[in-house]
Structure 1
Amino acid sequence: MPRVKREKSATGIYHVMLRGNNKNRIFEQEQDKGKLYNIIKEVKDEYPFKIYAYCIMNNHCHLLVKEETVPINEFMKMINQKYAVYYNRNRNKVGHVFQDRFRSETVEDDRYFLGLIRYIHLNPLEAKMVEDPYQYKWCSYKEYFYETPLMVDSEFVKTNICPERENFRRNFINLHRGDDENLYLDTDEAREARRKKIAERVFLNDGGVNEKSIKKLRDNTGMTFREIARAANISINMVNKYLNQ
């Protein structure tokens, strides 16, 4: 089956996810996470692209990147290949390491961009691995407090959040205390958990299951009629009725 052509971002910014083949925990060990981090940094030094956020979990990795003169396919291919060689050699294995090449979504506006920064940095909290993103070694949150970040290109984010640099630290922390109703690219399990969390919050804020809450789920999350029906504990016909009112 031919590959689906990757959607092109007008801004050049993409949210990228790498995932282990068959949901394997390919970054489970600390040395695995460190190796992927070093590979990304090495490829970034070789190819001109920007990184705004990253988070390396046990079985997947999130990157928020901007392509410049080199297309995203090229530098992501190098990252995948280098890590696959390391992983197979280290585990004495052969075959595919990653599920697909990589998955991506385009990022076309500042609000979605900042929501992704937050979402990527809070992945370890959602997985109950830490209580504060600053505690997680393998995400870029803490780099935004460094005088000279190690890998992230922080200037664009700092300008978007707070042009007055003396207030940046407070505003950046506050950004990570918020939430939104976007359904970001993630593993199937994480997306399902987020759907449920968003639905519960929408029903709570909008007075339960009604026309307003059902339409908000449809418009903001991309949930299917079946998913909305399951979250609201109503029939698909009832979902249709609310949406057609």
Structure 2
Amino acid sequence: MGRKPRIQFEGGVYHIVQRGNNKEYIFKNDDVKKQLLNIIVESKEIMRFEIYGFVIMDNHYHIVIRSHEVPISQIMHRIDLKFSKYYNCTYNKSGHVFQDRYKGILVKDDKYLLSLIRYVHQNPVKAKMCKKVSDYYWSSDSYYRKNIQDKIVDIDFVLCMFSENRKNALVEYSKFMDSTLLEESAEFEEVSIIGEVKPTSIDIPIIKTERKTLDKILYEVVGDDRIFDEIKRGSRKRELTHYKMLYIEKAIQSNYKMKEIGLNIGISQVAVHKLNNLQ
């Protein structure tokens, strides 16, 4: 029987699980775990996706990822291929490093995202490698608790689900992650689509899913009626470039496509891409 085709679409969020071949402990030391993160960062810069959560265990890893223009299959092919080459070269091995097919599970709705991230962060607790989510170093949990927005984890989208006030969001995030409730693998790993099985969690917070409009994002960036109007009219004045770059950055963080971002201020998708790469 042939394999079921993967469900993929632009802008989709996926729970990725990739295991070592024959459940081997391929992430047996910190250097190997660090190399995987380096490859993810490098791939992110080239393929323009977002990471909302991750954990690297000793024999497998989880990533919560949102793809954009590049399909998830191409993203994972690049990450796993580059890591496999590194691993085989470093340890003088050959052959498969990972199981032949990663598990990629579509998240049906963003309202399931927080429980999914908690499930990912709870992996070391369930494996009895630590007592609390915050005790484990090789996960995205510390990026959220310390309010670190860097090249690996995109924390803004998730924290804004708790509150637009960052201080309050950090408090609510920690409270949610520190719950003694353990998420079930049946809901986040043993399904084809996350959201078809209703989560058993009883403390899922109310999630704010409305996005700011592109015009609101632009005005928050410029804070001036004259500059706002000039950008909206498509002015190419050099003094406006900085504002356009900030607007594009904020709009991408709010999960708008480059085509939408460009249409809103009268520039092409290619121009949006070029301005974004200047940052």
Same topology, TM > 0.5: yes
**Contact 1:20 1:59 (C-alpha < 8 Å) held by counterparts:** yes
Q: 1:183 aligns with which of 186, 189, 195?
A: 186
CA distance in 2, matches of 1:92, 1:113: 39
Structure 1 pair 185–25 and aligned structure 2 pair: CA distance change class (3 A): farther
The CA deviation at 1:4 is: 2.8
CA distance in 2, matches of 1:18, 1:149: 25
Which shifted more, 46-55 or 23-32?
23-32
Instruction: Tell me what 1:50 maps to.
Output: 50
| Residue type of the alignment partner of 1:166 | K
Mapping of residues 95-106 of structure 1, within 5 Å? 95-106=95-106
CA distance in 1, matches of 2:78, 2:38: 13
CA distance in 1, matches of 2:182, 2:126: 12
| Residue type of the alignment partner of 1:146 | K
Instruction: Tell me what 1:112 maps to.
Output: 112
**Contact 1:47 1:70 (C-alpha < 8 Å) held by counterparts:** yes
**Contact 1:115 1:179 (C-alpha < 8 Å) held by counterparts:** no
CA RMSD of aligned residues (A): 2.1
| Residue type of the alignment partner of 1:100 | D
**Contact 1:80 1:101 (C-alpha < 8 Å) held by counterparts:** no
Normalization by structure 1: what TM-score? 0.71
The CA deviation at 1:134 is: 2.2
Instruction: Tell me what 1:7 maps to.
Output: 7
CA distance in 1, matches of 2:140, 2:148: 13
Which shifted more, 72-81 or 132-141?
132-141
- What are structure 1's unaligned runs of at least 5 residues? 192-218, 222-245
**Contact 1:182 1:220 (C-alpha < 8 Å) held by counterparts:** no
Count of residues paired in the alignment: 190
The CA deviation at 1:145 is: 2.8
| Residue type of the alignment partner of 1:171 | E
**Contact 1:27 1:57 (C-alpha < 8 Å) held by counterparts:** yes
Structure 1 pair 185–97 and aligned structure 2 pair: CA distance change class (3 A): farther
Instruction: Tell me what 1:154 maps to.
Output: 155
The CA deviation at 1:61 is: 0.2
| Residue type of the alignment partner of 1:96 | H
Deviations 1:138-161 (A, max 9, x none): 100000133432311111101112
CA distance in 2, matches of 1:144, 1:11: 22
Deviations 1:148-175 (A, max 9, x none): 3231111110111222322112210121
The CA deviation at 1:220 is: 4.8
| Residue type of the alignment partner of 1:142 | S
Instruction: Tell me what 2:167 maps to.
Output: 166
Q: Any idea what SS the aligned residue of 1:26 has? A: coil
CA distance in 2, matches of 1:26, 1:128: 19
**Contact 2:160 2:169 (C-alpha < 8 Å) held by counterparts:** no
- What are structure 2's unaligned runs of at least 5 residues? 191-196, 200-279
Normalization by structure 2: what TM-score? 0.63
| Residue type of the alignment partner of 2:186 | L
**Contact 1:52 1:157 (C-alpha < 8 Å) held by counterparts:** yes
